[in-house]
Amino acid sequence: MKSRFTLSLKALFVILLFDILVSSCGSQTQDENTAVADSTSAIPKDTSNKTHDFFYSLPSPLLMAKVFKKTGLKYMEGVANAPENVAKYSSVHSKTLNLGVYSADLAYTVLNKQAQQASKYMESVKKLSDDLGMSSLFDTDDYLKRFKNNMNNEDSLINVVCQLKCEMDMFMKDNDKEKQTLLIFIGAWIENMYIATQLTKEANKEKVASRVAEQKFILNSLMNVSVNFQSDAEFKGLYVKLTDLKKMFDNLSVQGDDEKVMIDELQLKAITEKTRDLRKEIVG
């Protein structure tokens, strides 16, 4: 009989909401009991305005990286997208997707205390942001300089990354850039998934499998929004591949009153390979 891994979706969103309450822009400190009580509000509802719901419930690349790091994943040189690859991306589509990828890599290196490497990813994020018309974000608060001036202070680096993400979110919202927001999230989500699945041999495989399985819910919400852009010429190919990945997640059963997501080793292997192929197409 194949071994199976389980996870409660409710437990996931308690974790997500608590981290969001603690680290989001301008949020006030709230205790864990409040986070637990309000946990259902973090779950996007099936309403007539799925796009609005989704964009207001997106976990940040830093938050996604934190979720996977809690499984015990260690830092591995070379698993993230190389910073120098930033020069390869020429189209707006590829730059936007890889802004998400590099945002995830930045979070991964910061959380693993790789300050020198993180500085290179911050430079890649700045370059793509500048190319996409968001140079004012870095100029206003000089995020790159602040980042480099706090290389030995992990809390300060995390704070800079969080503030930059908030500024970017506000820029996207103010300029009605929903498609770009979606592409950045897809890039970050795929990169975090790729890093986690590639490092399963280096960590507690059962815990990593559980964290991968819980992405079923996020991917469902992601696809509810992506369908709005499926006819877009540049998005079509990505939409098809995300649909193929979703089919694999659809095979993961949710059981019991506590909504446990179940995944076996063969399913984990298939999702790992599909994620690797999709990520390869994005980063080149």
What is the domain partition of the chain in residue ranges? 4-283
- List the alpha helices (DSSP H) in 32-113: 32-37, 50-55, 61-69, 92-111
Query: Which structure tokens are listed for 147?
Result: 């980042």
Of 123, 195, 107, which Cα lies nearest the Cα of 157?
107
User: What is residue 208's three-state secondary structure?
Assistant: helix
Could you tell me the end-to-end alpha-carbon distance of the chain, in angstroms, rounded to an integer? 38
54-104 pLDDT, tens digit per residue, is: 665 567 888 888 888 888 788 889 999 999 999 999 999 999 999 999 999
Of 65, 4, 2, 1, which Cα lies nearest the Cα of 209?
4
Taking the CA of residue 116 as centre, how many other CA atoms within 13 Å lie in the half-sphere pointing to its CB? 1
Give the pLDDT of residue 202: 62
Confidence of residue 127 (pLDDT cuts 50, 70, 90): very high
Q: Give Dmax (Cα) for the chain.
A: 58
Higher confidence at residue 48 or residue 186?
A: 186
Give the C-alpha separation, 149 to 157, whole Å: 9
pTM of the model: 0.82
196-219 pLDDT, tens digit per residue, is: 998 876 667 788 888 889 899 889
Of 188, 113, 100, which Cα lies nearest the Cα of 150?
113
Burial code (b: 16+ CB inside 10 Å, e: under 16) for 105-143 equals: bbbbbbbbebbebbbbbbbbbbbbbebbebeebbeeeeb
Decide if 155 contacts 22 (C-beta within 8 A): no
Of 134, 124, 85, 82, which Cα lies nearest the Cα of 103?
124
Give the C-alpha separation, 86 to 81, whole Å: 9
Give the pLDDT of residue 219: 92
Confidence of residue 191 (pLDDT cuts 50, 70, 90): very high
